[in-house]
């Protein structure tokens, strides 16, 4: 934790095993992003019979951002409502929400779309992020809203439905069903939170995973992964969690390997499963490429003969479509991918048989040069000046497994600027120390 060049904030999230309560900025009572009230704006537009246009994220080059499109391409951009692109045919959702609904567009936000793929598996989380009742027919005003968790608080984010197009084709995320628009509108809402579409270019899958769940985050470097990581992932899959992973960077941007893996790319973990190959169990992981294509060609992939060696029941898991989703063994997963993230509303799955109910608490602080920025333990003379937070556990819940770790701590760095790409990134960290009961 070296002293930063400028003051910056931090948010320390501590999970413990007591019941959660709501409040302002909770998932049931979100704050209004940029003070825009969805219900008020919707009622106003209905009364005045006009379509909403968002002055805080206007349909012009400012919302696309700098450096993403060449000037001659930017000049061709038209912002068009789905109701104009496909009169009487535009739909918010066609049938159901699925990871197969979309494919990545002309922006490097695979980290975001991989997180969206994970979100489609969890109906309760999906309904938090994508509120029900939105459509292009009933009470349509060109106004939509989505909800994201940001550094300890849930926010309701409103947008208009003017989408950037060239020759009547969406520039960014594209739906595979021509008249379905939930992916493009969700992407636009998140671009507004980030500052622009350009601010979504490049990132870590954990960022959006946290913003979809409430920020309980576990990160694993796969080269030093715990021996029971597959078991952790398996239990996590049974719970309401989102999982994503990333490949190591290549020599070129999004370099494709002969085995079908894309380097410097984010993927969704969509299932964790075990098959029997003869008498030997094989631990598998199913993954999804947000491009909607380009798959692993190795063992347990779509064309692998390994599926001939399993039971008829296990063979039902075999994938054959070129849709971006594929299986691989856990061993290949550890060799191929660089890191993975698990995010969830509650980490109950960490204690397999525990009946604990977790809550979250937040402590806010900052490192200030010359005052509270004491550096890491290499600086013993100033280390003690760092912000300190005390945690006392009075008693364990009866349903909790005695002796298990029942506290999870995450440290989050708050951005110092609205636009995500302009925010400073400082080296930060934390230590956990045991304190004697007799210490005052």
- 33-64 pLDDT tens trace: 999 999 999 999 999 999 999 999 999 999 99
* Domain identity same for 310 and 226: yes
Which one is catalytic: 8, 11, 45, 110?
110
Report, as an integer, the average pLDDT of 315-337: 94
Domain boundary among 153, 180, 211: 211
pLDDT at residue number 341 = 95
339 is an active site residue: no
Which one is catalytic: 265, 356, 400, 406?
265
Q: What is the pLDDT of residues 269-278, one digit of tens each?
A: 999 999 999 8
Residue 352 lies in a domain: no
Residue 351 lies in a domain: no
pLDDT at residue number 16 = 55
Residue 162 lies in a domain: yes
pLDDT at residue number 22 = 58
* Domain identity same for 2 and 108: no
Q: Is the pLDDT of residue 267 over 70?
A: yes
Instruction: For residue 131, give every residue at least 6 positions away whose Cβ sits within 8 Å of its Cβ, in sequence order, or none.
Output: 145, 146, 147
Q: Is the pLDDT of residue 251 over 90?
A: no
Report, as an integer, the average pLDDT of 347-373: 74
Report, as an integer, the average pLDDT of 151-160: 94
Residue 14's alpha-carbon distances to 271, 348, 351, in angstroms, are 28, 14, 17
| Percent of all residues in the chain with a pLDDT value above 90, rounded to a whole number | 62
* Predicted confidence band of residue 296 (pLDDT cuts 50, 70, 90): very high
145 is an active site residue: no
**Cβ(260)–Cβ(289) under 8 Å?**
no
Smallest Cα–Cα separation from 117: which of 324, 339, 335?
324
* Domain identity same for 133 and 268: no
* Domain identity same for 76 and 168: yes
**Other Cβ atoms within 10 Å of 238 Cβ, number:** 9
Residue 350 lies in a domain: no
Q: What is the dihedral of CA 97, 101, 104, 105, to 10 degrees?
A: -110
Report, as an integer, the average pLDDT of 73-77: 96
* Domain identity same for 277 and 408: no
* Domain identity same for 230 and 312: yes
> What is the rounded average pLDDT for all residues in the chain?
88
Q: Is the pLDDT of residue 5 over 90?
A: no
Interatomic CA distance for residues 412 and 417, integer angstroms: 15
* Domain identity same for 315 and 378: no
Which one is catalytic: 45, 145, 289, 400?
289
| Percent of all residues in the chain with a pLDDT value above 70, rounded to a whole number | 88
Domain boundary among 211, 227, 256: 211
Full residue range of the structural domain in which residue 143 is found: 22-211
Q: Is the pLDDT of residue 295 over 60?
A: yes
Q: Is the pLDDT of residue 1 over 90?
A: no
Say whether pTM exceeds 0.75.
yes
pLDDT at residue number 28 = 84
277: β partners? 280
Question: What is the biggest distance separating any 2 CA atoms in the chain, rounded to whole angstroms?
Answer: 73
**Cβ(161)–Cβ(178) under 8 Å?**
no
Q: Is the pLDDT of residue 2 over 60?
A: no
Report, as an integer, the average pLDDT of 177-183: 95
* Predicted confidence band of residue 12 (pLDDT cuts 50, 70, 90): low
CATH number at residue 263: 3.90.70.10
> For 147, phi and psi rounded to 5 degrees?
-125, 135
* Predicted confidence band of residue 402 (pLDDT cuts 50, 70, 90): very low
* Domain identity same for 16 and 26: no
* Domain identity same for 159 and 219: no
**More confident of the two residues 41 and 413:** 41
356 is an active site residue: no
Residue 246 lies in a domain: yes
* Domain identity same for 369 and 322: no
* Domain identity same for 396 and 269: no
**More confident of the two residues 225 and 21:** 225
Report, as an integer, the average pLDDT of 311-329: 92
Residue given tokens 């109910």 in the structure block: 357
pLDDT at residue number 216 = 79
Q: Is the pLDDT of residue 297 over 50?
A: yes
**More confident of the two residues 258 and 6:** 258
* Domain identity same for 230 and 123: no
**More confident of the two residues 351 and 207:** 207
Task: Count structural domains, the chain.
Answer: 3
pLDDT at residue number 3 = 34
pLDDT at residue number 17 = 46
Residue 131 lies in a domain: yes
Chain center to CA of 11: 18
Residue 349 lies in a domain: no
Q: What is the pLDDT of residues 414-427, one digit of tens each?
A: 887 788 887 777 88
Residue 331 lies in a domain: yes
Instruction: For residue 186, give every residue at least 6 positions away whose Cβ sits within 8 Å of its Cβ, in sequence order, or none.
Output: 116, 129, 130, 146
Domain boundary among 314, 344, 374: 344
């Amino acid at each position: 934790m070296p002293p930063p060049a400028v003051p910056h904030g931090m948010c320390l999230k501590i999970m413990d095993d007591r019941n959660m309560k709501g409040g302002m900025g909770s998932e049931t009572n979100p704050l209004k992003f940029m003070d825009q009230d969805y219900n008020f704006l919707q009622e106003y537009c209905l009364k005045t019979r006009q379509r909403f246009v968002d002055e805080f994220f206007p349909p012009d080059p400012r919302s696309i951002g700098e450096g993403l499109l060449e000037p001659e391409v930017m000049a061709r951009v038209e912002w068009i409502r789905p109701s104009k692109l496909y009169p009487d045919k535009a739909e918010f959702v066609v049938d159901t929400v699925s990871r197969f609904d979309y494919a990545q567009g002309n922006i490097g936000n695979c980290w975001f779309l991989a997180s969206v793929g994970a979100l489609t598996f969890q109906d309760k989380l999906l309904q938090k992020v994508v509120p029900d009742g939105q459509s292009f027919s009933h009470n349509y005003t060109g106004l939509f809203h989505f909800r994201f968790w940001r550094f300890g608080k849930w926010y309701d984010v409103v947008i208009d439905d003017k989408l950037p197009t060239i020759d009547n084709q969406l520039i960014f995320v594209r739906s595979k069903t021509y008249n379905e628009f939930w992916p493009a509108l969700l992407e636009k809402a998140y671009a507004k939170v980030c500052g622009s579409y350009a601010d979504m270019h490049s990132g870590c899958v954990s960022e959006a995973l946290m913003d979809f769940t409430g920020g309980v985050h576990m990160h694993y470097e796969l080269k030093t992964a715990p021996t029971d990581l597959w078991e952790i992932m398996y239990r996590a899959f049974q719970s309401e969690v989102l999982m994503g992973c990333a490949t190591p960077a290549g020599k070129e941007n999004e370099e494709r390997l002969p085995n079908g893996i894309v380097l410097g790319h984010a993927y969704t973990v969509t299932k964790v499963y075990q098959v029997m190959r003869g008498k030997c169990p094989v631990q598998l992981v199913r993954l999804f490429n947000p491009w909607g294509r380009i798959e692993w060609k190795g063992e347990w992939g779509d064309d692998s003969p390994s599926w001939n060696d399993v039971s008829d029941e296990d063979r039902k898991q075999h994938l054959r479509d070129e849709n971006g989703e594929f299986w691989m063994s856990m061993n290949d997963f550890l060799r191929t991918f660089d890191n993975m993230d698990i995010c969830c509303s509650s980490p109950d799955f960490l204690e397999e048989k525990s009946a604990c109910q977790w809550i979250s608490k937040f402590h806010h602080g900052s490192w200030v040069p010359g005052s509270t920025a004491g550096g890491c333990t290499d600086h013993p003379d100033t280390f003690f000046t760092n912000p300190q937070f005390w945690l006392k556990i009075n008693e364990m819940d009866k349903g909790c497994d005695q002796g298990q770790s029942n506290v999870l701590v995450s440290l989050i760095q708050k951005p110092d600027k609205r636009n995500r790409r302009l925010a400073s990134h400082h080296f930060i960290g934390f230590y956990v120390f045991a304190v004697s009961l007799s210490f005052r």
